Structure 1
Amino acid sequence: MTTATAAVAPHWDQTALGFLAHGKSTPAHLEAALSEDPDFALGHAARGLFCLLLGRRELIGTAEQCWKVAVASAQNAPITRRETAFVEALRAWLDGWPSRSADILDSALVKAPNDALLVKMVHAIRFVLGDATGMRRSIETVSKSYDANHPAYGYILGCRAFALEETGEYKAAEAAGREGLDHAADDAWGLHAVAHVHDMTGNSENGISWLESRPASWAHCNNFGYHVWWHLALMYLDRGDADKALVLYDTEIRRDQTDDYRDISNAASLLSRLEIEGINVGGRWDELAHLSDQRAEDGCNVFADLHYLLALLNGGRRLGAERLLTSLRERALQQGDLARISKHAGVSTGAGLEQYRLGNYASAYTMLTAARGDLFQVGGSHAQRDVFERITIDAALRAGLSDEAEGLLHDRAHKRGAFDSFAERRLAVCERMRKASLIMEDERLRATPA
């Protein structure tokens, strides 16, 4: 890398390892590197990409400034092709094309497969885009370049585990995630990839044991730690222990009540799932709605928007919900990846969530299913997007569309690999609705004229 002093190197190494481990100390290591060399172009470009990954409107200006400093630094001291890729990737995302940003970084990986931070950056951007196939392709391209002698080997296995899980290779995903932790005990991403496998295969008991036996693997985390707690709460809910899920919500998932979109998403998703199960969540929506109201027009991430919308609708912030929906519709008319995602998945899903909250369940079902095939584009994981699947199925049942609900349940199980408790309970409801319909259609039970 290009830098005025070798003193940058140890801080940069810790930045890379921190990013791989989702460590809360990562920003401090990066700032230490930049303080050693204020013209460290690679550091500024990475900082800009970190800002954009956070999905906050106020950080776009910061990311723009990072790009300008990186470009100026590169003009003063020419940088390598690999470093240039980071700068170009930052520009592409700032211009509205994170997909191009990921492509640029993937191209750089061809000549620099051992750069683990580069691998993780591609992985993170494609995750935001819901591009599971791209994540899998990227990680498989570089996997053979890593072995136990590489300091990032365990983290690379964790990335591979998650990519395998998101593309349905559950057995291989679990094996890779477990092996990764043998080499990097703080690989929270690999730990959570195995938790995803348990979620997708309906194995909540083993999932609970897996997470609860390894608390040290995510104790060091930034807000990603809240997400791991969220996974644990989902497993307790699947087991039927809603009280435990609520305790985890209060004591861990919303312990700090931040307005980070990932934290809001964890919370809104869990509360929605609880309410679908008939659980009274009290006034917990109020706090989320208040924070989401201030983010209603951020427009940085459709996944974030849809979770803000859940909070606004359920927290009674009608005007905030309208502002967010208007922003989605306006964005769908623009250019760039966000416009495409808003048009294909965001607008219809947002409208469906609004209709669901209003009690117009047939309309909600129609709108939600219209976007269902494209919903992966909003980003996140299968497990995270499953809240929208559950709402769609619940809308169908409430609208009396038992056949449609059953079809969704079977399709969901096919994609996930198994029926979970949620599906089993709804299939029983579908069966009762079918029997009731047959009884109502029985001519022998109809009243006859006197």
Structure 2
Amino acid sequence: MTHHDARGLALSTDQAASVAAYEQALDLFNSLRLDPVAVLQPALEQDPDFVSGHLMMAGFMLSAIDGQVLPAARASLAAAAASRNRPNERERSFQAALQVWADGDMGRANRLLDRHLIDHPRDLFALQLTHMADLVLGQSTMLRDRIGRALNQWSADDVGYGYLLGMHAFGLEECNEYARAEALGMEALARNPQDTWAVHAVAHVYEMQGRVADGIRWLSIDTSLWQQDNALAVHNHWHLALQHLRNDDHASALALYDRAIAPGPASMALDLVDASALLWRLGLRGVDVAARWQALAARWREQAAWGWSVFNDVHAMLALVGAGEPAQIEVGQRAMAAVPATAPAPWWREAGTLCEAVMAFGAGRYAHCAQLLLPLLPATNGFGGSQAQRGLIHLTAMEAARRGGDAALWEALRSEGAARQAPAIPARARRELELRVA
């Protein structure tokens, strides 16, 4: 017997309880709340042949972008392959893509998911998982266009439609369509105030437009929606800290770091990324964060998953340089150099140069740092992450130019950043958007 999910997709199981757990776990994953793994695991124990459930569990693991959870992802894929239930075409297509991802080729997996979603545009789990992969791979236009491809196959009444709007809002923001992004993010939140990704999309708009007061207010209105038991809690606090930095309020940014960003035992790699990025920005501003670097570098050493994500590895290198750990820096350099030339992320080829620049900055060789970074600036997308995250490379080059005495380069980079700052939408229009959410 075959059951169907809330969007009409066939699931290879004869147990309605498995489908109910699948839907509940999917909603938690879409909203980045609580623990979808804890919801899905009991269903898999009761229904070990639930193919889509095992694929969902594998996707949860892969979405962490953390090499430590690869064994769990592979185990889930093996369980799906061993199921006595014959998987349908959609499940086979999805499984093939996830297997390639778990085997280490996220780029090829992303291309397989590209076709999967053309054939199955109502596969909400695959949509969000691929949206996350697009972000990690630096595919800014696909953050927008992948969701755009699917929208016509959905109706506003479909379960989960609001999550598509939140994802589309973020994609629009990453393509510099800020007014549309803000409007769509507000619409997504009007449909579902617990859509953390939509909250995050609007926060990105405020960051990229330099709307400091709006950004601080936005992330302070009702933090209960994302502050506790939420996968984006650390990241949204990072966004709030960036707005405090724009105000030159280093004390507030440091307080946020200590309270909500500094890693704990359960922190995943992307949480450590936010911690590294904030401490490095503070260091660029001359703030003494040496003691914090030591604790963060120790946590990165425990994570020890070099070669899985160039985005993660470069942020790990920031912490090791900040903490002054030459032996560990050498370990990281060797691991990155050993990544095959066929690796999917094009920036693996540039990672060594970027890390050399980071080390030069840490050693006070600022002119050399700026010289290394300048050729990388036009094409940082392949580094992965968002515009706001990749902005750290530009900020480092600019500060290296200043400290290295290259006034012309500093002025050129400062002017470039100012010219890229997008204008905000008129206050009246902004108020109309906010009233729709209130």
Q: TM-score, normalised by structure 2?
A: 0.90
Q: Distance in 2 between matches of 1:155 and 1:386?
A: 27
Select 2:79's aligned residue among 49, 69, 74. 69
Q: Kindly provide the amino acid, as one letter, of the partner of residue 178 in structure 1.
A: M
| Alpha-carbon offset, residue 315 of structure 1 | 0.8
Quote the residue 2:348 is aligned against: 342
Give percent identity, aligned residues only: 32
Looking at structure 1, the residues matched to 419 and 182 of structure 2 have their Cα atoms a distance apart, in angstroms, of: 19
Q: What letter is aligned with 2:308? A: C
Task: Give CA-to-partner distance per residue, 1:82-106, whole Å, 9 cap, x none.
Answer: 2112201112213332122222223
Measure how far apart 1:221 and its partner are: 4.0
Q: Which residue of 2 is the match for residue 157 of structure 1? A: 165
**Partner in structure 2 of residue 274 of structure 1:** 282
Distance 1:415 1:3 in 2: 51
Match for residue 175 of structure 1?
183
Report 1:238-257 matches (<5 A).
238-254=246-262, 256=264
Once the two structures are superposed, residues 351-382 of structure 1 have per-residue CA deviations (whole angstroms, 9 ceiling, x without a partner) of: 11011111111211122223323322121111
Rounded Cα–Cα distance in structure 1 between residues aligned with 2:147 and 2:414 = 31
Deviates more, 1:400-409 or 1:292-301: 292-301
Q: Is the CA contact 2:337–2:352 (under 8 Å) kept in the aligned structure 1?
A: yes
Query: How far has the Cα of 1:262 moved from its partner?
Result: 1.2
Does 1:382 pair with 2:382?
Answer: no
Q: CA RMSD in A?
A: 1.9
Change (3 A) 1:416 1:104: farther
**Residue 178 (structure 1) shift:** 0.7
The structure 1 segments of at least 4 consecutive aligned residues displaced by more than 4 Å after TM superposition are: none
Q: CA deviation at 1:223?
A: 3.5
Cα distance in structure 2, aligned partners of 1:87 and 1:416: 42
2-structure distance, mates of 1:97, 1:211:
35
1:402 corresponds, among 390, 401, 407, to 407
Q: For residue 207 of structure 2, what is the aligned residue in structure 1?
A: 199
Deviation sequence 1:262-297 (CA, Å, 0-9, x none): 111111111111122222225111110111223455
Query: Superposed, which structure 2 residues align to 1:418-433 within 5 Å?
Result: none
What is the distance in 1 between the residues matched to 2:89 and 2:39? 24
C-alpha separation in 2, matches of 1:97 and 1:415: 33
**What's the secondary structure of 1:300's corresponding residue?**
coil
Q: CA deviation at 1:148?
A: 3.4
Q: How does 1:324-343 map to 2 (within 5 A)?
A: 324-331=332-339, 333-338=340-345, 340-343=346-349
Shift in Å, 1:248 = 1.0
- TM-score, normalised to structure 1, is 0.87
Structure 2 Cα separation of the partners of residues 58 and 207 of structure 1: 33
Q: Give the gaps of 5 or more residues in structure 2.
A: 1-10, 425-438
- Corresponding residue of 2:92: 84
Counterpart selection for 2:241 from 226, 233, 238? 233
**Unaligned 5+ residue runs, structure 1?**
420-450
Q: 1:255 to 1:71 in 2, by over 3 A?
A: closer
Say whether 1:21 aligns with 2:21.
no
Q: Using the TM superposition, give the Cα deviation of residue 323 of structure 1 relative to its aligned residue in structure 2, in angstroms.
A: 0.9
The Cα of 1:220 is off from its aligned counterpart by 4.8
Contact 1:89/1:102 (CA < 8 Å) preserved in 2?
Answer: yes
Specify the SS of the correspondent of 1:412.
helix
* Alignment partners' CA distance in 1, 2:263 and 2:379: 33
User: Do the aligned residues in 2 keep the contact of 1:114 with 1:146 (CA within 8 Å)?
Assistant: yes
* Cα distance in 1 between the residues matched to 2:25 and 2:419: 40
Distance 1:278 1:161 in 2: 35
Number of positions where the alignment pairs a residue of Structure 1 with one of Structure 2: 414
CA shift for structure 1 position 185? 0.8
Deviation at 1:183, TM superposition (A): 0.7
Shift of 1:54: 2.1
After superposition, where does 1:428-443 map in structure 2 within 5 Å?
none
- Quick one: which amino acid aligns to residue 20 of structure 2? P
CA distance in 1, matches of 2:173, 2:279: 25
Give distance in 2, aligned partners of 1:108 and 1:357: 44
Residue 399 of structure 1 deviates from its aligned partner by 1.6
Q: 1:109 to 1:206 in 2, by over 3 A?
A: same
Aligned CA distance change for structure 1 residues 166 and 221 (closer, same or farther; 3 Å): farther
Matched, 1:308 2:316: yes
1:55 aligned to 2:61?
no
User: Which sits farther off after the overlay, 167-176 or 256-265?
Assistant: 256-265
Matched, 1:284 2:310: no
Structure number with greater Rg is 1
